[in-house]
Amino acid sequence: MMVFKMHSRLQCLLCFKSHLLYRSSFYNELNFHQRFLCTKVLSMHDYVDDKIRNFSIIAHIDHGKSTLADRLLEFTGTIKKSATNKQVLDKLQVERERGITVKAQTSSMFYNVTKSISCLFNLIDTPGHVDFGYEVSRSLAACQGALLVVDAAQGVQAQTVANFFKAIDAGLTIVPVINKIDLASANVANVCKQMESTFDVLSEEIIKVSAKEGIGIDKLLQAIYEKVPSPKTSVKEDLSLFLFDSWYDVYRGVINLVTVKNGKISKGDKLQSVHSGATFECLSLGILHPDECPVNTLYAGQVGYIVTGIRDINQTLIGDTFHHVGKPVKPTPGFKQPTPMVFSGIYPPDQDSYIGLKKAMEKLCLNDSSVSMFPDNSAALGQGWRVGFMGLLHMDVFRQRLLQEYNADIIVTTPNVPYQATLKTQSSDVRKEIRSPQEFENQSKVNCYFEPVVIGTLVFPEQYLGKIIELCENKRGQQLLLSYIDDSRVLLKYRLPLNEIVIDFFDLLKSVSSGYASFDYEDGGYIETDIEKMEIWLNGKPVDALSTIVHKTKCLALGKSYCFKLKETIPRQLFEVVIQAAVRNKVIARETIQPLRKDVTAKCYGGDITRKRKLLEQQKEGKKKLKRLGNVDVPHNVFLSLLKL
């Protein structure tokens, strides 16, 4: 146990003021001694060398990562045990509403191994959904170990396998864990066999826990201390900070989350970036416990945040290395920028809000570095951006965070995957990137097109094998592997075109497997393909925002679907609206929205029939003029209705 000297009443009040400044929802339930412990008097020097464990929790979605993190925080006394402790590290509003983790979160814990030995645990809770795999990769770079969590009822799933290999590739020590052993449907013995055959772990090494009930958490903490190695660092060497996450604070600027590879950093130190060469001062620093807790110094092996007052977002690069000014160090290998899987146009509702939206998106991209932005322009929507995402859920979460965190409403166009083309004027190995339908090159100028593919991993019960193979074949898939995890569960690998799976594949897969199948994928490069640009015309005028790139075999079906959906969603006008889908200026599908009609003969009571005919002819001519001159406004909900076609 740590011993503290008595401090003056003034010092205590200052510490309590610091507590109020950070407005921690957790600290309200802690006693004054715990609050005092979590302020500037906390000495991190006691936790160096072999007294540090940095680890992450990885698992398939909904296997209990966040609940397990709650119990670890409670058992180490980091937060007070309470029935309200549910997904404590899921701090974003979008995470609370959706019930999923979309952002990796860090928390430091102090674990008393024995009465005389205390250890610093740095935990990183990671997302489970495949769209946020880059968050997992970045988190693992700051760790030496990983808790591989598997649901005792669902068993090994596709993302369990994917995350396991990510951890192995990062050189981490794996601590296998079976969660939810309290469930009536739990089959611990069978899940142990699955983990033995899939991950080559021994049954006696697997820790059995119930995160919900707190069963086995003490054994898991002891296993973390015994199995996860301490970081190989040295306090005596020159300072080296590795930046693996950041976010923007309106008052303090960019806040960087770092792991101290070597040396130590204190408030007032002069730092320099290896990436940009910029110099700045460390204004404050601390640990996340689980909210911000200021400390005087961070030492080698520890994880914490630093505030430098940086306002220019472009000066911050995830994967950068910081060092003391005048003491350069070898940069830590950074992260490979992820390849966007889906591109979509993002535009402000009106051009007056363009600058404000740009600042909001840049700040959000600082916190989500897997998003890529390119300036774009549309004849229909004005200035905007072509934005790359890791998937459709990632895109929807980005839109929701913009609205919730920055009050920024946006128009999102139909998503497309990135294609490539070799032009006839170029060498066959020089390819042009096609990120939007507006960049699509006419076939007369192109030798061949290429589309991205993924290597998909599917895990499901054997009785759904026929239906899932049929689904993959309908999506133009190519089977690579079929094997059995155990007597009743199948692992299937397919090469699938990204365009075929990014929109509705998850929904169809859950439907044909009654919700029992899981799916994960990784980049599989590009293959030659036959694609077309499909345009949507409204009264003969093309609408750029509704154009899309599709495979030649899917043009007719998708064109009919688009026209029918637009007919249902576009409001009726005073004139006839003709909706057409066209490929190479040839119409392949058509729908018509009939005009609203005013009864111009309502006031004609009897009399000569020629009077009524004259009024009807005048109305007909007026509608023709409106059709020539009138514009058809396409509401925002129309774009949203087309996303799943």
Q: Where in the chain do CATH 3.30.70.870 domains reside? A: 342-412
Q: Where in the chain do CATH 3.30.70.240 domains reside? A: 440-525
User: Binding residue per annotation — 59?
Assistant: yes
Q: State the Cα–Cα distance between residues 404 and 407, nearest whole angstrom.
A: 6
Apex 633 CA angle, 630 and 636, nearest 5:
175
Tokens of 251: 């008052």
SS3 (DSSP) at 204: helix
Token pair 């890529």 in the structure block, residue: 372
b vs e for 118-155, b when ≥16 Cβ sit within 10 Å of the residue's Cβ? ebbbbbbbbbbbbbbbbbbbbbbbbbbbbbbbbbbbbb
264, 239 in Cβ contact below 8 A? Answer: yes
Among 448, 368, 379, which Cα is nearest to 401's? 368
Q: State the Cα–Cα distance between residues 256 and 366, nearest whole angstrom.
A: 10
For 227, residues 6+ apart whose C-beta sits below 8 A from its C-beta are 145, 173, 175
For residue 86, the number of C-alpha atoms closer than 13 Å in the C-beta half-sphere is 7
Residue 32, number of CB atoms within 10 A of its CB: 11
Q: State the Cα–Cα distance between residues 492 and 508, nearest whole angstrom.
A: 16
User: Binding residue per annotation — 289?
Assistant: no
* Residue 215, phi-psi category: left (phi > 0), alpha (psi -120 to 50), beta (remainder): beta
Architecture of domain 533-643: 2-Layer Sandwich (3.30)
- Give the pLDDT confidence score for residue 158 in this predicted structure: 84
For residue 211, the number of C-alpha atoms closer than 13 Å in the C-beta half-sphere is 25
User: Binding residue per annotation — 63?
Assistant: yes
Cα first-last separation, the chain: 61
Among 224, 183, 169, which Cα is nearest to 63's? 183
Q: State the Cα–Cα distance between residues 645 and 637, nearest whole angstrom.
A: 14
Q: State the Cα–Cα distance between residues 242 and 127, nearest whole angstrom.
A: 21
User: Binding residue per annotation — 127?
Assistant: yes
Q: State the Cα–Cα distance between residues 64 and 58, nearest whole angstrom.
A: 10
Angle between helices 65-75 and 217-227 (to 10 degrees): 90
> How buried is 115 (Cβ within 10 angstroms: 0-12 exposed, 13-18 middle, 19+ buried)?
exposed
User: Binding residue per annotation — 129?
Assistant: yes
User: Binding residue per annotation — 64?
Assistant: yes
What dotted CATH number matches 52-227? 3.40.50.300
207, 215 in Cβ contact below 8 A? Answer: no
Among 402, 43, 148, 272, which Cα is nearest to 387's? 402
User: Binding residue per annotation — 270?
Assistant: no
Element (H, E) at 483: strand 478-484
For 380, residues 6+ apart whose C-beta sits below 8 A from its C-beta are 543, 544, 545, 634
Cα separations (Å) of 640 from 413, 415, 557, 565? 8, 10, 19, 11
User: Binding residue per annotation — 265?
Assistant: no
Tokens of 580: 């057409």
51, 192 in Cβ contact below 8 A? Answer: no
User: Binding residue per annotation — 622?
Assistant: no
- Give the pLDDT confidence score for residue 639 in this predicted structure: 57
- Give the pLDDT confidence score for residue 645 in this predicted structure: 52
Q: State the Cα–Cα distance between residues 485 and 440, nearest whole angstrom.
A: 43
User: Binding residue per annotation — 182?
Assistant: yes
Which residue type is seen at 302? Answer: Q
Token pair 């009024």 in the structure block, residue: 615
User: Binding residue per annotation — 284?
Assistant: no
User: Binding residue per annotation — 126?
Assistant: yes
CATH superfamily placement of domain 240-324: Translation factors (2.40.30.10)
Cα separations (Å) of 286 from 42, 252, 270, 325, 627? 10, 14, 16, 21, 65
- Give the pLDDT confidence score for residue 603 in this predicted structure: 64
Q: State the Cα–Cα distance between residues 147 and 216, nearest whole angstrom.
A: 14
For 326, residues 6+ apart whose C-beta sits below 8 A from its C-beta are none
User: Binding residue per annotation — 475?
Assistant: no
User: Binding residue per annotation — 551?
Assistant: no
User: Binding residue per annotation — 269?
Assistant: no
Tokens of 370: 């897997």
Where the chain has pLDDT below 50, the residues are 1-41, 626-630
User: Binding residue per annotation — 131?
Assistant: no
User: Binding residue per annotation — 503?
Assistant: no
- Label each residue of 488-510 as H, E or C: CEEEEEEEEEHHHHCCCHHHHHH
Tokens of 16: 């309590």
For 155, residues 6+ apart whose C-beta sits below 8 A from its C-beta are 187, 190, 191, 194, 485, 489
Q: Where in the chain do CATH 3.30.70.2570 domains reside? A: 533-643
- Give the pLDDT confidence score for residue 598 in this predicted structure: 64
**CATH class (in words) of the domain with range 440-525:** alpha beta
Q: Where in the chain do CATH 3.40.50.300 domains reside? A: 52-227
Token pair 């006419």 in the structure block, residue: 442
Q: State the Cα–Cα distance between residues 497 and 410, nearest whole angstrom.
A: 29
- Give the pLDDT confidence score for residue 7 in this predicted structure: 37
Q: Which fold has domain 342-412?
A: Alpha-Beta Plaits (3.30.70)
